[in-house]
Structure 1
Amino acid sequence: MKLTIERAALLRSLAHVQSVVERRNTIPILSNVLLDAQEGRLGLTATDMDLTIVEHTTANVQEAGATTVSAHTLYDIVRKLPDGSEVELAAAGDDGQLRLRAGRSSFALSTLPREDFPAIGPTDLPNVFTLQGGEAKNLIDRTRFAISTEETRYYLNGIYVHAASSGDLQVLRAVATDGHRLARFEMPLPEGAPGMPGVIVPRKTVNELRKLIDEVEEGIEVALSDTRIRFTFGNTMLTSKLIDGTFPDYERVIPSGNDKTMSVDCKIFASAVDRVSTISTEKSRAVKLSLGDGALTLSAASPESGSAEEEVAIQYDGPPIEIGFNSRYLLDIAHQIEGEGAEFTLADSSSPTIVRDVADTSALYVLMPMRV
């Protein structure tokens, strides 16, 4: 294998693939990136056995071939090379090393044979549809903050994506919950998605995909089966195993009898929560909301720090009510609301509260109260 490639192109692709590789690996080959040079292009592949990323970039290939080298070491070297430099990669195969040259710098890196690198799983994924870049970003951003990090409830460690009915419309719905809050986002069902199985996309896959699609505006092809999902866009393909579990019946968590509605300027509300919560204890982060006619009083107290109180103007004409929430959960939801107004629909101090963006009905959030 022998090729030359622009540093910027190699660095961009390495940045994408190396983040899939775990820092600690008991299987040495999983620390490596597969470099596969074919005519006119270089393919880079990394995997942790559950998640695999393949990216292609343009290169001047003098000699086709393939090898594997430490993903993080190669990334760190290329990152530290001067801007605008041209990188030469060569693997002769006789000494088991990859030679890297750029300007006056040269490196000899240990390699492992490409035959040891895990093969990509089955590619026959029957359900195929397309999401636009902005749609995929919305779907992830509106829900991923509520993904559970509790490993014992592994079926909550991802976003549940499925086809559903909303009134007369068929929608693609994404749901995430950790038992304390729930986020639900829906959009019109793309062509090709009817009949798709409900799948749970793992947290790591969601986070890697979100990083990769930051600059993507074109379509993202989504292909899936009961056990795998694949995202293809530009020169990148991300394939992941799905979480093998049953997502709980989230509809039962969304209350239908909440009869008290509070409307508030979201930015003012979020700033007030942030200030008041400075006093709350690190463990509970509790903030109390006291609703009255036209005014909301936010308060927090802790034995170590003292107390705090702030009043915010609201639209509310129901009976007085006091309810407590985890301030971090409130802020997580507030940061998803892009419009000026947030609408809280409440029942009483011990029942779940629904939060919506007044300007965008595609997302709905449910927040469990806490004692304060």
Structure 2
Amino acid sequence: MRFRADRDAFADAITWTARALPARPAVPVLAGMRLDIADAASGTLHLSGFDYEVSARASVDVQVEEAGSVLVSGRLLAEIVRNLPPHPVGLRVEGSRALLTCGSARFTLLTLPLEDYPTLPPMPHAVGSAPADAFATAVRQVLPSTSRDDTLPMLTGVNLTFRGDAVLLAATDRYRIAVRELWWQPEQPGIDASALVPARTLGEFARSLAGGTVGIALSAADGSTAGEGMIGFEHAGKRTTTRLIDSDFISYESRFPEEVAARAEVAVASLVESVRRVALVADRSTPLRLSFSSSEVVLEAGSGEDAQALEVLDVKFEGEPMRIAFNPQYLLDGLTGVESETALLSFVGPTRPAVITGAPAEEGGRPDFRYLVMPLRV
């Protein structure tokens, strides 16, 4: 194998593929990144990484001098290309070594045995596509509500429900539920399927999205075995697949209250800044208290001999005055997920879940993003 490549394009493809590599591989060969050029006339280098759960594949245009394949340490290669000077990159394989050059820089990498590397899973069947920017935003909005506790796998995933021309993304860690609905273009108009996707993999892929569309592929498109099989995403020459979490997601719609006792309307940016300031005196176990009246909300944290903070904001409030408390970070996660300038906070009672949404696009319409959060007792 021998080729030359643009430094930035090569580094981008390498860095993205390396994200799928396991930090502690079960066997040494899984730490490798495979580089393939199937045909000298193709002008395309394919990069891949796999750990039996997640696969990542990227393609980049190169000047091919000789086709071939090689397997090298993926994280080392990614670290090298991130620090290369701004010159074209050359790579050639000589026996058991890969020689990488860039300007006056020279690196020699040991190769890993290609014959021991597992075969990557094929991409599942395409089920539709969505605007990449909107999909990335949706993932960002729901991802904070996932859990890092592996003892209950369902909490570590984002549930994707494909229904007609809408996709619903939902996540929960038992203390809050985030739901985002977005438009997509299905391959089959009558599709009704769901997939519970590992949050880490979905988040890594979403961070790479910029413009265009993202293709979605699902091996259990009929929804009958959604906990089995695999899901795949494709965008701008990059592909990733991951096994689905074998668990049923909660039925969350019934947990959102149909009737509320009070509602507040407040500028998102102002409330986010106030929460961040007041929360400076609150540790993880200290609630942030909000006292709503007809025209203002008082934010407080700390008490007694502890550090204390208080701030007052103007709001539009309907209902009886209410005092409610939240984990500051949970409150911020909901507010920063709102895309509109104004947030709507709906309350049932001081000890009942509250719902945060953005202002709907049209009066009486359903908001795209909903965030239910449990209050803390004070």
After TM superposition, list the pairs within 5 Å mapping 1:198-347 onto structure 2.
198-213=194-209, 215=210, 217-226=211-220, 227-280=229-282, 282-302=283-303, 305-347=306-348
List per-residue Cα deviations over 1:342-362 (Å, max 9, x = no partner): 111111111011111014511
Tell me whether 1:365 sits opposite 2:367 in the alignment: no
TM-fit CA distance, 1:180: 0.9
Q: Which amino acid aligns with 1:234?
A: A
Q: 1:116 to 1:357 in 2, by over 3 A?
A: same
Q: 1:104 to 1:134 in 2, by over 3 A?
A: closer
Q: 1:188 to 1:43 in 2, by over 3 A?
A: closer
Q: Which amino acid aligns with 1:176?
A: A
Q: Which amino acid aligns with 1:57?
A: V
TM-fit CA distance, 1:170: 5.9
1:37 counterpart residue number: 37
1:8 counterpart residue number: 8
TM-score normalised to the size of structure 1? Answer: 0.92
TM-score normalised to the size of structure 2? Answer: 0.90
TM-fit CA distance, 1:308: 1.8
> Does the Cα contact within 8 Å between 2:2 and 2:64 map onto a contact in 1?
yes
1:186 counterpart residue number: 181
Q: Which amino acid aligns with 1:355?
A: I
TM-fit CA distance, 1:273: 1.2
**What is the CA–CA distance in structure 2 between the aligned matches of 1:279 and 1:77, rounded to whole Å?**
42
Q: Which amino acid aligns with 1:117?
A: Y
**What is the CA–CA distance in structure 1 between the aligned matches of 2:99 and 2:307, rounded to whole Å?**
62
Q: 1:69 to 1:311 in 2, by over 3 A?
A: same
TM-fit CA distance, 1:127: 5.2
Between the two proteins, the alignment pairs up a number of residues equal to 361
List per-residue Cα deviations over 1:104-124 (Å, max 9, x = no partner): 33222111122222111244x
Which among 50, 53, 57 is matched to residue 50 of structure 1? 53
2:120 counterpart residue number: 120
1:146 counterpart residue number: 145
**What is the CA–CA distance in structure 1 between the aligned matches of 2:170 and 2:354, rounded to whole Å?**
17
**What is the CA–CA distance in structure 2 between the aligned matches of 1:188 and 1:67, rounded to whole Å?**
41
Q: Percent identity?
A: 27
**What is the CA–CA distance in structure 1 between the aligned matches of 2:83 and 2:122, rounded to whole Å?**
37
Q: Which amino acid aligns with 1:58?
A: D
**What is the CA–CA distance in structure 1 between the aligned matches of 2:272 and 2:289, rounded to whole Å?**
14
**What is the CA–CA distance in structure 2 between the aligned matches of 1:64 and 1:329, rounded to whole Å?**
52
Q: Which amino acid aligns with 2:80?
A: I
> What is the CA RMSD across the aligned residues, in angstroms?
1.8
TM-fit CA distance, 1:2: 1.5
TM-fit CA distance, 1:196: 4.1
**What is the CA–CA distance in structure 1 between the aligned matches of 2:349 and 2:320, rounded to whole Å?**
10
Where do 5+ consecutive residues of structure 1 fail to align? Answer: none
